[in-house]
Protein backbone atom coordinates (compact mmCIF):
# COMPACT_ATOMS: atom_id res chain seq x y z
CA UNK A 1 0.00 0.00 0.00
CA UNK A 2 2.81 2.38 0.93
CA UNK A 3 4.64 1.66 -2.34
CA UNK A 4 1.44 2.32 -4.30
CA UNK A 5 0.86 5.67 -2.62
CA UNK A 6 4.46 6.66 -3.27
CA UNK A 7 4.09 5.76 -6.95
CA UNK A 8 0.88 7.77 -7.22
CA UNK A 9 2.49 10.79 -5.55
CA UNK A 10 5.41 10.58 -7.98
CA UNK A 11 3.05 10.43 -10.96
CA UNK A 12 1.05 13.38 -9.70
CA UNK A 13 4.27 15.29 -9.11
CA UNK A 14 5.37 14.57 -12.69
CA UNK A 15 2.07 15.86 -14.10
CA UNK A 16 2.28 19.01 -11.98
CA UNK A 17 5.89 19.63 -13.02
CA UNK A 18 4.89 19.41 -16.68
CA UNK A 19 2.55 22.39 -16.23
CA UNK A 20 5.38 24.67 -15.02
CA UNK A 21 3.44 25.91 -11.95
CA UNK A 22 5.83 28.76 -11.10
CA UNK A 23 5.37 30.29 -14.52
CA UNK A 24 1.61 29.78 -14.24
CA UNK A 25 1.58 31.67 -10.93
CA UNK A 26 3.31 34.65 -12.55
CA UNK A 27 0.83 34.47 -15.43
CA UNK A 28 -2.09 34.62 -13.00
CA UNK A 29 -0.66 37.64 -11.16
CA UNK A 30 -0.23 39.64 -14.36
CA UNK A 31 -3.61 38.51 -15.72
CA UNK A 32 -5.39 39.64 -12.56
CA UNK A 33 -3.62 42.99 -12.66
CA UNK A 34 -4.87 43.51 -16.19
CA UNK A 35 -8.39 42.70 -15.03
CA UNK A 36 -8.18 45.05 -12.07
CA UNK A 37 -6.96 47.96 -14.16
CA UNK A 38 -9.65 47.39 -16.78
CA UNK A 39 -12.44 47.13 -14.23
CA UNK A 40 -11.95 50.54 -12.60
CA UNK A 41 -11.54 48.58 -9.37
CA UNK A 42 -14.90 46.81 -9.41
CA UNK A 43 -14.75 43.14 -10.33
CA UNK A 44 -17.16 40.24 -10.26
CA UNK A 45 -15.69 37.41 -8.20
CA UNK A 46 -17.19 34.94 -10.68
CA UNK A 47 -15.45 36.64 -13.61
CA UNK A 48 -12.13 36.67 -11.73
CA UNK A 49 -12.42 32.97 -10.90
CA UNK A 50 -13.38 31.87 -14.42
CA UNK A 51 -10.80 34.07 -16.14
CA UNK A 52 -7.98 32.96 -13.89
CA UNK A 53 -9.04 29.33 -14.18
CA UNK A 54 -9.11 29.49 -17.98
CA UNK A 55 -5.86 31.44 -18.21
CA UNK A 56 -4.14 29.16 -15.72
CA UNK A 57 -5.20 26.10 -17.72
CA UNK A 58 -3.94 27.74 -20.91
CA UNK A 59 -0.59 28.46 -19.28
CA UNK A 60 -0.40 24.89 -18.00
CA UNK A 61 -1.22 23.61 -21.50
CA UNK A 62 1.66 25.67 -22.92
CA UNK A 63 4.02 24.23 -20.33
CA UNK A 64 3.01 20.63 -20.98
CA UNK A 65 3.20 20.96 -24.77
CA UNK A 66 6.57 22.70 -24.45
CA UNK A 67 7.84 19.80 -22.36
CA UNK A 68 6.49 17.33 -24.92
CA UNK A 69 8.15 19.13 -27.83
CA UNK A 70 11.50 19.53 -26.03
CA UNK A 71 11.67 16.03 -24.54
CA UNK A 72 14.72 15.02 -26.62
CA UNK A 73 16.54 18.33 -26.20
CA UNK A 74 15.94 18.22 -22.44
CA UNK A 75 18.18 15.16 -22.20
CA UNK A 76 21.19 17.42 -22.87
CA UNK A 77 20.34 19.99 -20.19
CA UNK A 78 21.31 19.43 -16.54
CA UNK A 79 18.29 21.47 -15.44
CA UNK A 80 15.81 19.32 -17.37
CA UNK A 81 17.28 15.88 -17.95
CA UNK A 82 15.57 14.40 -14.86
CA UNK A 83 12.07 15.41 -15.91
CA UNK A 84 9.44 12.76 -16.56
CA UNK A 85 9.65 12.78 -20.37
CA UNK A 86 13.45 12.77 -20.88
CA UNK A 87 13.85 9.98 -18.32
CA UNK A 88 11.00 7.90 -19.80
CA UNK A 89 8.90 7.92 -16.62
CA UNK A 90 5.93 9.15 -18.67
CA UNK A 91 4.69 8.12 -22.12
CA UNK A 92 5.04 11.15 -24.44
CA UNK A 93 1.57 10.55 -25.90
CA UNK A 94 0.04 10.85 -22.44
CA UNK A 95 1.76 14.22 -22.02
CA UNK A 96 0.60 15.34 -25.48
CA UNK A 97 -3.05 14.50 -24.82
CA UNK A 98 -2.83 16.01 -21.35
CA UNK A 99 -1.56 19.29 -22.81
CA UNK A 100 -4.19 19.34 -25.54
CA UNK A 101 -6.97 18.60 -23.03
CA UNK A 102 -5.83 21.47 -20.80
CA UNK A 103 -5.81 23.83 -23.78
CA UNK A 104 -9.24 22.74 -24.98
CA UNK A 105 -10.71 23.10 -21.50
CA UNK A 106 -9.21 26.58 -21.19
CA UNK A 107 -10.73 27.63 -24.50
CA UNK A 108 -14.19 26.31 -23.64
CA UNK A 109 -14.24 28.01 -20.23
CA UNK A 110 -13.07 31.37 -21.58
CA UNK A 111 -15.25 31.27 -24.71
CA UNK A 112 -18.48 30.39 -22.89
CA UNK A 113 -18.01 32.04 -19.50
CA UNK A 114 -15.88 35.09 -20.33
CA UNK A 115 -15.86 36.19 -23.99
CA UNK A 116 -14.63 34.88 -27.38
CA UNK A 117 -11.77 37.39 -27.76
CA UNK A 118 -10.25 36.30 -24.46
CA UNK A 119 -10.57 32.65 -25.46
CA UNK A 120 -8.88 33.20 -28.82
CA UNK A 121 -6.08 35.23 -27.22
CA UNK A 122 -5.42 32.38 -24.78
CA UNK A 123 -5.31 29.81 -27.59
CA UNK A 124 -3.15 32.17 -29.65
CA UNK A 125 -0.74 32.39 -26.75
CA UNK A 126 -0.48 28.59 -26.57
CA UNK A 127 0.11 28.40 -30.33
CA UNK A 128 2.74 31.14 -30.32
CA UNK A 129 4.64 29.67 -27.38
CA UNK A 130 4.60 26.09 -28.64
CA UNK A 131 4.68 26.39 -32.45
CA UNK A 132 6.43 29.71 -33.09
CA UNK A 133 8.84 29.81 -30.14
CA UNK A 134 9.49 26.19 -29.17
CA UNK A 135 9.23 24.35 -32.48
CA UNK A 136 10.54 27.02 -34.86
CA UNK A 137 12.57 29.89 -33.40
CA UNK A 138 14.19 28.09 -30.48
CA UNK A 139 15.82 25.70 -32.90
CA UNK A 140 16.71 28.18 -35.63
CA UNK A 141 17.37 31.73 -34.42
CA UNK A 142 19.01 33.66 -31.55
CA UNK A 143 15.98 35.98 -31.78
CA UNK A 144 13.87 33.24 -30.23
CA UNK A 145 13.90 34.78 -26.75
CA UNK A 146 12.88 38.25 -27.96
CA UNK A 147 10.23 37.22 -30.50
CA UNK A 148 9.03 34.40 -28.28
CA UNK A 149 8.41 36.98 -25.56
CA UNK A 150 5.16 37.88 -27.31
CA UNK A 151 3.50 34.85 -25.72
CA UNK A 152 4.73 35.70 -22.24
CA UNK A 153 3.59 39.31 -22.60
CA UNK A 154 -0.05 38.50 -23.38
CA UNK A 155 -1.47 37.55 -19.92
CA UNK A 156 -2.24 41.16 -18.82
CA UNK A 157 -3.88 41.71 -22.22
CA UNK A 158 -6.00 38.61 -21.62
CA UNK A 159 -6.99 40.02 -18.24
CA UNK A 160 -7.94 43.34 -19.82
CA UNK A 161 -10.05 41.77 -22.59
CA UNK A 162 -11.81 39.52 -20.07
CA UNK A 163 -13.32 42.66 -18.55
CA UNK A 164 -13.68 44.98 -21.54
CA UNK A 165 -14.08 42.65 -24.49
CA UNK A 166 -11.50 44.65 -26.48
CA UNK A 167 -7.82 45.61 -26.48
CA UNK A 168 -7.08 49.10 -25.19
CA UNK A 169 -3.95 51.21 -24.81
CA UNK A 170 -3.43 50.31 -21.14
CA UNK A 171 -3.33 46.64 -22.12
CA UNK A 172 -0.72 47.40 -24.77
CA UNK A 173 1.46 49.27 -22.26
CA UNK A 174 1.35 46.30 -19.88
CA UNK A 175 2.16 44.06 -22.85
CA UNK A 176 5.20 46.24 -23.60
CA UNK A 177 6.42 46.05 -20.00
CA UNK A 178 6.17 42.26 -20.00
CA UNK A 179 7.79 42.04 -23.44
CA UNK A 180 10.79 44.13 -22.39
CA UNK A 181 11.18 42.32 -19.06
CA UNK A 182 11.47 38.78 -20.42
CA UNK A 183 14.75 38.75 -22.43
CA UNK A 184 17.10 40.04 -19.70
CA UNK A 185 15.29 37.87 -17.15
CA UNK A 186 15.92 34.77 -19.27
CA UNK A 187 19.46 35.64 -20.39
CA UNK A 188 20.69 36.01 -16.80
CA UNK A 189 20.57 32.24 -16.41
CA UNK A 190 21.03 31.39 -20.09
CA UNK A 191 24.58 32.73 -19.83
CA UNK A 192 25.29 30.03 -17.24
CA UNK A 193 23.87 27.32 -19.50
CA UNK A 194 25.51 28.35 -22.75
CA UNK A 195 27.49 25.10 -22.98
CA UNK A 196 24.35 23.03 -22.48
CA UNK A 197 22.47 24.97 -25.15
CA UNK A 198 25.44 24.53 -27.48
CA UNK A 199 25.48 20.79 -26.83
CA UNK A 200 21.74 20.61 -27.52
CA UNK A 201 22.19 22.52 -30.79
CA UNK A 202 20.09 25.50 -29.70
CA UNK A 203 21.23 28.91 -31.06
CA UNK A 204 20.43 30.92 -27.95
CA UNK A 205 21.94 34.41 -27.93
CA UNK A 206 24.88 33.53 -25.61
CA UNK A 207 25.74 30.67 -27.99
CA UNK A 208 25.21 32.47 -31.30
CA UNK A 209 26.49 35.95 -30.40
CA UNK A 210 28.57 35.48 -27.28
CA UNK A 211 28.63 36.80 -23.73
CA UNK A 212 29.42 40.42 -24.60
CA UNK A 213 26.54 40.89 -27.03
CA UNK A 214 24.14 39.19 -24.61
CA UNK A 215 25.13 41.53 -21.78
CA UNK A 216 24.65 44.59 -24.02
CA UNK A 217 21.19 43.39 -25.01
CA UNK A 218 20.35 42.87 -21.35
CA UNK A 219 21.31 46.45 -20.59
CA UNK A 220 19.23 47.80 -23.48
CA UNK A 221 16.09 45.95 -22.45
CA UNK A 222 16.50 46.76 -18.77
CA UNK A 223 17.01 50.46 -19.51
CA UNK A 224 13.95 50.45 -21.78
CA UNK A 225 11.83 49.30 -18.85
CA UNK A 226 12.22 52.72 -17.19
CA UNK A 227 10.21 54.76 -19.76
CA UNK A 228 7.85 51.84 -20.42
CA UNK A 229 6.85 51.50 -16.77
CA UNK A 230 6.65 55.29 -16.33
CA UNK A 231 4.17 55.43 -19.21
CA UNK A 232 1.56 53.91 -16.91
CA UNK A 233 1.70 57.12 -14.85
CA UNK A 234 1.80 59.56 -17.78
CA UNK A 235 -1.30 57.87 -19.21
CA UNK A 236 -3.03 58.52 -15.86
CA UNK A 237 -3.58 54.84 -15.19
CA UNK A 238 -1.78 54.82 -11.85
CA UNK A 239 -0.82 57.31 -9.17
CA UNK A 240 2.40 59.03 -8.15
CA UNK A 241 3.27 56.36 -5.59
CA UNK A 242 3.47 53.82 -8.40
CA UNK A 243 5.78 56.10 -10.40
CA UNK A 244 8.19 56.51 -7.47
CA UNK A 245 8.30 52.76 -6.79
CA UNK A 246 8.53 51.85 -10.49
CA UNK A 247 11.45 54.20 -11.10
CA UNK A 248 13.18 53.05 -7.91
CA UNK A 249 12.78 49.41 -8.88
CA UNK A 250 13.86 50.14 -12.44
CA UNK A 251 17.01 51.97 -11.37
CA UNK A 252 17.88 49.18 -8.93
CA UNK A 253 17.36 46.58 -11.66
CA UNK A 254 19.46 48.58 -14.11
CA UNK A 255 22.19 49.04 -11.50
CA UNK A 256 22.33 45.30 -10.82
CA UNK A 257 22.43 44.60 -14.57
CA UNK A 258 25.30 47.07 -15.07
CA UNK A 259 27.20 45.41 -12.23
CA UNK A 260 26.47 41.99 -13.73
CA UNK A 261 27.66 43.13 -17.18
CA UNK A 262 30.94 44.50 -15.83
CA UNK A 263 31.98 41.25 -14.17
CA UNK A 264 32.61 37.68 -15.32
CA UNK A 265 29.48 35.53 -15.29
CA UNK A 266 29.20 33.53 -12.06
CA UNK A 267 26.37 31.33 -10.71
CA UNK A 268 25.93 33.63 -7.73
CA UNK A 269 25.73 36.81 -9.81
CA UNK A 270 23.42 35.29 -12.42
CA UNK A 271 21.03 33.86 -9.85
CA UNK A 272 20.97 37.11 -7.89
CA UNK A 273 20.00 39.07 -11.01
CA UNK A 274 17.50 36.41 -12.08
CA UNK A 275 15.88 36.40 -8.63
CA UNK A 276 15.69 40.18 -8.49
CA UNK A 277 14.05 40.28 -11.94
CA UNK A 278 11.19 38.14 -10.62
CA UNK A 279 10.81 40.29 -7.49
CA UNK A 280 10.92 43.39 -9.69
CA UNK A 281 7.99 42.23 -11.83
CA UNK A 282 5.90 41.06 -8.89
CA UNK A 283 6.41 44.34 -6.99
CA UNK A 284 5.72 46.39 -10.12
CA UNK A 285 2.41 44.68 -10.85
CA UNK A 286 1.49 44.80 -7.18
CA UNK A 287 1.91 48.58 -7.33
CA UNK A 288 -0.30 48.75 -10.42
CA UNK A 289 -2.95 46.95 -8.39
CA UNK A 290 -2.47 49.08 -5.28
CA UNK A 291 -2.14 52.49 -6.93
CA UNK A 292 -4.37 52.26 -9.99
CA UNK A 293 -6.62 55.27 -10.54
CA UNK A 294 -9.81 53.52 -9.54
CA UNK A 295 -12.08 52.91 -6.59
CA UNK A 296 -14.12 49.89 -5.66
CA UNK A 297 -13.46 46.24 -5.03
CA UNK A 298 -14.37 42.68 -5.80
CA UNK A 299 -17.98 41.87 -5.17
Q: Which pLDDT value is given to residue 299?
A: 46
Q: Which pLDDT value is given to residue 3?
A: 63
**pTM over 0.85, yes/no:** yes
Q: Which pLDDT value is given to residue 177?
A: 98
Nearest Cα to Cα of residue 61 among 138, 150, 122: 122
Domain regions of the chain by residue span: 12-291
Q: Which pLDDT value is given to residue 165?
A: 96
Pick out the chain residues at pLDDT < 50. Answer: 295, 299
Q: Which pLDDT value is given to residue 246?
A: 98
Q: Which pLDDT value is given to residue 8?
A: 76
Q: Which pLDDT value is given to residue 294?
A: 60
Query: Alpha helices, DSSP H only, in the chain?
Result: 2-18, 21-38, 45-69, 84-87, 92-113, 116-127, 144-153, 155-164, 169-190, 194-200, 205-208, 211-234, 240-262, 267-291
Please name the CATH architecture into which domain 12-291 falls. Orthogonal Bundle (1.10)
Amino acid sequence: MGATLTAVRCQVSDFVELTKPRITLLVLVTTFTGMWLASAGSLSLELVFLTLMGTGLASASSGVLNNYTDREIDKYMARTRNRALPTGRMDPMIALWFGLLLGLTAFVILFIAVNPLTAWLAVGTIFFYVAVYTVWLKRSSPLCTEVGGVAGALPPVIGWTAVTGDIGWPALVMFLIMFLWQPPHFWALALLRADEYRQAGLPMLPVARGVGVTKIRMLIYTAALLPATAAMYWLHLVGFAYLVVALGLGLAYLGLTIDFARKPVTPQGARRLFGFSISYLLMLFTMIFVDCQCNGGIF
